[in-house]
Structure 1
Amino acid sequence: MDNPSPFTLCRIPLEDGQISSFYHITSKECFWPILHTFPTYFNVNNANWKIFEEVNKRFAMAACAEAAEGATVWVHDYNLWLAPGYIRAERPDLKIAFFHHTPFPGNDVFAILPWREQILESLLCCDVVGFHIPRYTENFARAATTLVGAKRGPKVPVDKKFIEVGTALSEGTVTSHLEHNGRTIQLLSSPVGTSPDLIQELCWSPSVESHGELIVQDTKKGRKLILSASRVDYTKGNEELLLAFERLLERRKDLHGQVVLMLACVAAASGMKIYEDTQRSIEEMAGRINGRFSQIDWVPIRFSTRRIPYDEMIAWFCHADVCWITPLRDGLNLVAKEYAAARRNRGGVLVLSEFTGASVVLDGAVLTNPYSNRRMDEAIESALEMDEDEQRDRMSRMTDAVESYTVSDWADEQMSGLSPSTPQ
């Protein structure tokens, strides 16, 4: 981070209409709900597939123009699903890796997409396809075999960094590779890491300590601080979390004035009605709860939709007694990992949805089911009542996990699939 390798950024100019169609409509109205298993939100009526193809081809051709003979092109996320196919056709000499940052859904949900075969055929032009966790890898392998006839390689035990049993997204074995059209595609499960050394260094920086003093004086004031940080999105479970907090205040009058929830919920880009509706619902819910329970010297919910600077967020991690992360579905959730990284040699409790990819790598989190009121209620009560020894034991296991697999380890693991010994 202090001395990053030099790189050249090549911008791909797009017109406003292309951006709207490619990102706001096709990516967010069609792909996003399917990837997160919310098929009732799927809307294909306004999608312009031709524009999506054109944008992907522009990115692909730009990569081909820049790449040296035999170079590696690393493509990221579903917005560029078609790029590998265009790259392979134009530059068969290149090695292509693709990393999928979102969940990959079950076969029956993915099959809703009318362009499913074209998407899969493009991804099967890669040398390596990576996902955060084995469950997503298995879902992709199943889709590729049943929808376009790819052949599965053997299943192998999952890496020791994954929890093999006991969570909603656990897998004990995972498909090693696929074969298609005479090619071998390596499948890798690699949960994106953090930079724990940087985070821990920041924890003691003057900027973070200054932000921390303000948090203690203006928000915490001797109370227990619960932090929840996410985006305005129907997949993030913000409304379910607020309702659980309301039930907590209804049950536990002894907590009135003794606990405060900081909900940092970054607003979505303007012009997307479904996210505007979600934000309105969150704001109204937080306002209603504050209206019900506020006292002259205590407001139970602090709510922010601004993008919080990183050093300030680290300060919130340092001072939050509980980090409450309960998406309905999330590819990984780096906030959970960053909270653990910031809590080295401290207590603190992470309450985490078992429908996040992070739930199968953070042994020590209090797992919960955001679809169940009872499970949500039990989890937050457990977090608030947990003794210091148990907090430190759980947090130590989680900080060990994030320190043993950093963002550099993630990149190295993904690139390892391109080694000369890998069958091509």
Structure 2
Amino acid sequence: MSSDLVIVYHRQPYEEVVVDGKTEYRENKSPNGIVPTLKSFFGSVEKAAWVAWKEAKDTSNPGFDRVVEIEDSFGKYTVSRLPLTAEQVSSFYHITSKEAFWPILHGFKEKYNYDPVDWPTFKEVNWAFAEAAASEAAKGAAVWVHDYNLWLVPGYLRQMRPDLRISFYHHTPFPSADMFNVLPWRGEIIDSLLAADVVGFHIPRYAANFVSCVRSLRDVGNVPRKPVPSDLISEGSALSDRTMPTEIHLDTGHVVHLGVTPVGVDTDYIKGLAENEATDERATRFRSEIGEGKLLLSVGRTDYTKGGADQLLAFERLLERRADLRGQVRLLHVSVPANRAMTVYEPIQKELEEIAGRINGRFGSFTFQPVALISRAVPFEELVAWYQVADVAWITPLADGMNLVCKEYVAARKDGDGVLVLSEFAGAAVELGAAVLTNPFSSRAMDFAIDLAMDMPEPERRARMALLRSAVSKRDTRHWARDQLALLSPKDFAPEAA
């Protein structure tokens, strides 16, 4: 039976576990995140499918079922699994996506590496994703494609199945034309995205950048704009815009709708964890271990876009200029490698370890270490307890499409206290103007922001946090998914249907 809704995403929508030699498909341990949000829409259609990849030694005989039927709390759905060799995964994902696309998307032209890119393999993998989606989709079905490593899927899908309604959501920043056009494949990418019915972005700036890229390559005439909602404008953010484009009209008569909806977090789930007795016990234990001093918390990936080294240097300067904080403030810096198989992250990890070691050597003692550098993933249940204990969440990426850690911190603060220091170059900054916004490229700005956070009186902390919690609750994961799908298929995926 063909599917009314097909979601195309590189990750499988479950965890595979082998028990007594038999493979079991279990729901993701945490219902917080993009995958459970997307699966929540399976219940609103009669038949749904998911397309992802799975590594195989031999793609012609992968040793696993290419199509499996899943039934879990989200309903019944089909998962079409593309067998890709380790070499294909490395070429398509680790090299082309991460070494060529990733730095350009985030504005790091100097990190761009064109030489190892195997463009034919990238096209081959995208074609395979499109074929799988086309074979699963019913006539006139909605197909929702996710993220830049599947840039070419909309174009291929349109060739195969002109009847489909196609939406593409961009989870990273979308750069300006001057940056994007460094990519030699820019024309193919833009033409593919213009084959979609909807192209979605986190914030108005990314949609505007997309239009500038389109206009640099294709004549699309006038692009209508509308005012940006006031709650998506933050005076302190470098990413705020006052108007945003709404649609692109092609000379073929095709209209591409531009959707702007920031991704949110599952506030209900986080609230439930925050109010859990086990979380309270963890938080009490963590606070007891820390003592009377203040805790700064930073959580992110080990990536040059996250500005981890700049943050550690700012913490070192804090201890240098403020003797009153020595022995009184700690930084818990969680920096997890996105993929330990990728050597590109090794120099970053080494630099973080060197700076943290130097700080502890200069300002630590036998009984007190000012920096705890964690290089492993922290279970989310434990992280929520740390959110409740941290006096300051210090989230200062150099570039970030959205950043959900800052929203998680806010959602977890059931006590209404705490301070969020946030980079103005994170997409979330346009929503969270009540945070202490800062420029991570400026040492003076970083120093001012962290001093302000450390010394902020309680009434101001609570007033800011109330505004932040209201903003995060308004645009949660369900709000994001409903808005995007409503653009694609208002009848089937209206807000009340979810």
Tell me whether the two structures share a fold, i.e. TM-score over 0.5. yes
Could you tell me which residue of structure 1 aligns to residue 276 of structure 2? 205
Note the C-alpha offset of 1:384.
0.4
CA distance in 2, matches of 1:344, 1:214: 17
The AA in structure 2 aligned to 1:78 is Y
Note the C-alpha offset of 1:164.
5.5
Query: TM-score, structure 1 length as denominator?
Result: 0.96
Q: Is the 8 A contact 1:165 1:172 kept in 2?
A: no
Superposed CA RMSD: 1.4
Q: Is the 8 A contact 2:274 2:414 kept in 1?
A: no
Matches within 5 A, 1:58-207: 58-163=128-233, 165-180=235-250, 181-207=252-278
Note the C-alpha offset of 1:6.
4.0
* 2:484 is aligned with 1:414: yes
Could you tell me which residue of structure 2 aligns to residue 214 of structure 1? 285
CA distance in 1, matches of 2:297, 2:450: 12
CA distance in 1, matches of 2:312, 2:77: 43
Q: Which moved more, 1:234-243 or 1:274-283?
A: 274-283
Could you tell me which residue of structure 1 aligns to residue 79 of structure 2? 9
Note the C-alpha offset of 1:236.
0.1
CA distance in 2, matches of 1:42, 1:187: 28
Change (3 A) 1:164 1:377: closer
Q: Which moved more, 1:359-368 or 1:335-344?
A: 335-344
Tell me, which stretches of 5 or more residues in structure 1 are unaligned? none
CA distance in 2, matches of 1:363, 1:166: 7
Q: In the TM superposition, what whole-angstrom CA distance separates every residue of 1:97-141 from its partner, at most 9, and x where no partner exists? A: 110000011110000000000000000010100110000000001
* 2:304 is aligned with 1:234: yes
Same amino acid, percent of matched pairs: 50
* 2:403 is aligned with 1:336: no
CA distance in 1, matches of 2:159, 2:221: 22
Could you tell me which residue of structure 1 aligns to residue 336 of structure 2? 266
* 2:389 is aligned with 1:319: yes
Note the C-alpha offset of 1:182.
2.0
Q: How many residues align?
A: 420
Q: Residue 346 of structure 1: SS of its match in structure 2?
A: coil
CA distance in 2, matches of 1:323, 1:272: 28
CA distance in 2, matches of 1:342, 1:380: 21
Note the C-alpha offset of 1:10.
2.3
Change (3 A) 1:330 1:83: same
Note the C-alpha offset of 1:165.
4.1
Note the C-alpha offset of 1:420.
5.8
Q: In the TM superposition, what whole-angstrom CA distance separates every residue of 1:125-172 from its partner, at most 9, and x where no partner exists? A: 101001100000000011112212233431100123301544200100
Query: TM-score, structure 2 length as denominator?
Result: 0.82
Q: In the TM superposition, what whole-angstrom CA distance separates every residue of 1:214-266 from its partner, at most 9, and x where no partner exists? A: 32233x21211110000000000000000000000001111111111000111
Partner of residue 395 from structure 1, selected from 461, 465, 476: 465
Higher strand share: 2
Change (3 A) 1:263 1:115: same
The AA in structure 1 aligned to 2:255 is T
Q: Residue 231 of structure 2: SS of its match in structure 1?
A: coil
Q: Residue 454 of structure 2: SS of its match in structure 1?
A: helix
Note the C-alpha offset of 1:8.
3.0
CA distance in 2, matches of 1:265, 1:338: 16
Change (3 A) 1:345 1:214: closer
Q: In the TM superposition, what whole-angstrom CA distance separates every residue of 1:303-347 from its partner, at most 9, and x where no partner exists? A: 111111111111111111100000000000000111111114421
The AA in structure 2 aligned to 1:235 is T
The AA in structure 2 aligned to 1:98 is F
Change (3 A) 1:236 1:164: closer
Q: Residue 140 of structure 2: SS of its match in structure 1?
A: coil
Change (3 A) 1:142 1:402: same
Could you tell me which residue of structure 1 aligns to residue 368 of structure 2? 298
Q: Is the 8 A contact 1:145 1:152 kept in 2?
A: no
CA distance in 1, matches of 2:469, 2:74: 25
Could you tell me which residue of structure 1 aligns to residue 34 of structure 2? none
Q: Which moved more, 1:303-312 or 1:232-241?
A: 303-312
Tell me, which stretches of 5 or more residues in structure 2 are unaligned? 1-30, 32-39, 41-72, 492-498
Q: In the TM superposition, what whole-angstrom CA distance separates every residue of 1:28-49 from its partner, at most 9, and x where no partner exists? A: 1100000000000001000000
The AA in structure 1 aligned to 2:286 is I
Q: Residue 144 of structure 2: SS of its match in structure 1?
A: strand
Partner of residue 23 from structure 1, selected from 93, 112, 123: 93
Q: In the TM superposition, what whole-angstrom CA distance separates every residue of 1:385-410 from its partner, at most 9, and x where no partner exists? A: 00110000000001001111111110
CA distance in 2, matches of 1:94, 1:329: 34
Could you tell me which residue of structure 2 aligns to residue 379 of structure 1? 449
Q: Which moved more, 1:32-41 or 1:64-73?
A: 64-73
Could you tell me which residue of structure 2 aligns to residue 42 of structure 1? 112
CA distance in 2, matches of 1:386, 1:165: 20
Q: Which moved more, 1:364-373 or 1:174-183?
A: 174-183
CA distance in 1, matches of 2:417, 2:281: 21
CA distance in 2, matches of 1:148, 1:207: 56
